Amino acid sequence: MGTYELPRNVKGEGRILFIFSTKSFIYTIVAALIGLPFYFIFSAFNMKMVGIIIVASIAVIGFAIGTFKMPELGRFEFTKKTGGENIDEIIKRAIKFKTRRKENIYLQGGKKQ
């Protein structure tokens, strides 16, 4: 008889600690590092638990940005256009758009403003 290769599920093998993908882990660490000064500020006033909660909250926001996709809601024009895309890609495009500062803004119908 011949040998056959069995397909296997390799989807979760790029994960760290089962919930983190590489990208979401990096975003979580960077967000926690951004929140770290708050911990030091609150620990100076003997409120370490508040600092830890703030760092954890900012880290969860970083995890969400690195993991989730924008939902497609029919009621909002913004989500119709960006539905299904990664949140971090949308944020990167918004930052690029804001930093370009073009003087000619084109509206619907091709008219200049």
| Chain segment 56-112, per-residue pLDDT in tens | 999 999 999 988 888 877 777 777 777 778 888 888 888 888 887 655 555 555 444
Residue 18 and residue 55 in one domain: yes
- For residue 32, the enclosing domain spans 14-68
How many domains, the chain?
2
Asked, for residue 9, whether it belongs to a domain, the answer is no
What was the pLDDT predicted at 91? 86
Same domain, 19 and 60: yes
Angle at 83 between CA 64 and CA 92, to 5 degrees: 60
Query: Distance (Å, rounded) from C-alpha 113 to C-alpha 105?
Result: 6
pTM: 0.67
Per the listing, tokens 């926690």 go with 32
Top-confidence residue, 9 or 20:
20
- Looking at the domain assignment, is residue 76 inside a domain? yes
